[in-house]
Amino acid sequence: MRKKIVAGNWKMNMDYNEGISLAKSINDELHSTPLSGKEVILCTPFIHLQGVSSLLSSKGLSSGAQNCNDHKSGAYTGEISATMIKSTGASYVIIGHSERRTIYKEDDSLLSSKTIEALRNELKVIFCCGEVLAEREQKIHFDVVKKQLESGIFGLTEEDFANIVIAYEPVWAIGTGVTATPDQAQEMHKYIRSLVEKRYGKECADDTTILYGGSCKASNANELFANPDVDGGLIGGASLVKDEFINIIKAL
Ligand code: 13P
């Protein structure tokens, strides 16, 4: 049975104290309303990771980073390795977010190397894919997502693939207030699951968690999560506001 997950991607927001305070309040809330088999992940900036990881005590609540370097260690000024992330107590890392692909020019081959390095350090990977608006308008969005998955993660062994969570984030929906309709999300998630099935078989496809991301908030989470192939969300802006984030978790 695949896991249902809500992950917050804090991006580059909040100073250290604000981040710790938000993580504490989410942790407290989830103590009083337990998650019952579901998982919540706080993907924080690097500097928050150790502090956040050490204060989380609610069952099913864990932390993750938003990026990692593809090398083990060495002369890479300003970079953070998967080993370092793991040593903070974090369990996850987001790889292939569209902001990394676009702003930092991370290509498929680099993202594949980062994924391998993360898995080697026993981090689970939230691997992002998604098309830009022009690609959807040209009706090549399925091809774009297929290529991202094939180059990024379909080279993995089945054993490694078990530690991948896929996040479908249509770029036109990220931070825009425009959400994919439940039908658009379901259509793409179903397609992604069919690709996983072709590559790894039905059992693996059934077990793969596929998250939706892009202007997901408390008011639309219910209808998105109601789809059979949408197993939760990767939440940006709405993960920075405690009550909003908690209501998204409740929708799950
Ligand atoms: P928003 O929820 O702010 O649209 O961001 C989505 C996202 O990029 C999560 O990784």
Question: What's the Cα-to-Cα distance from 38 to each of 68, 105, 227, rounded to whole Å?
Answer: 25, 34, 16
Q: Which long-range contacts (CB under 8 A, 24 or more apart) does 15-21 make?
A: 16/47, 16/48, 16/51, 19/44, 19/45, 19/48, 19/51, 19/52, 20/48, 20/51, 20/52, 20/55
Q: Which residue out of 5, 10, 11, 171 has the highest number of ligand 1 atoms within 8 Å of its CB and is therefore the one to mutate?
A: 11
Residue nearest to atom 9 of ligand 1 (CA): 236
* Ligand 1 contacts CB of residue 130 (under 6 A): no
Report yes or no: 23 and 58 within 8 Å, Cβ to Cβ.
no
pLDDT at 37: 86
Write down the architecture of domain 5-251 according to CATH: Alpha-Beta Barrel (3.20)
Residue 48 annotated among the catalytic residues of the structure: no
Q: Which long-range contacts (CB under 8 A, 24 or more apart) does 241-246 make?
A: 242/22, 242/25, 242/26, 242/29, 243/218, 244/217, 244/218, 245/6, 245/8, 245/26, 246/26, 246/29, 246/33
Residue with the two structure tokens 């204060």: 55
Question: 118-161, pLDDT tens digit by residue?
Answer: 999 999 999 999 999 999 999 999 999 999 999 999 999 999 99
Question: 21-66, pLDDT tens digit by residue?
Answer: 999 999 999 998 888 889 999 999 999 999 999 999 999 999 999 9
Q: How far apart are alpha carbons 92 and 171 in whole angstroms? A: 22
* Ligand 1 contacts CB of residue 218 (under 6 A): no
Q: Which of 11-15, 29-33, 108-112 has the lowest mean pLDDT?
A: 29-33
Q: Out of 117, 131, 169, 189, pick the active-site residue.
A: 169
Q: How far is the CA of 83 from the centre of ligand 1 (A)?
A: 26
Q: Where are the domains of the chain?
A: 5-251
Please report the atom of ligand 1 found closest to the CA of residue 234.
9
Residue 169 annotated among the catalytic residues of the structure: yes
DSSP state of 244: H
Tell me the pTM: 0.98
pLDDT band at 1 (very low <50, low <70, confident <90, very high): confident
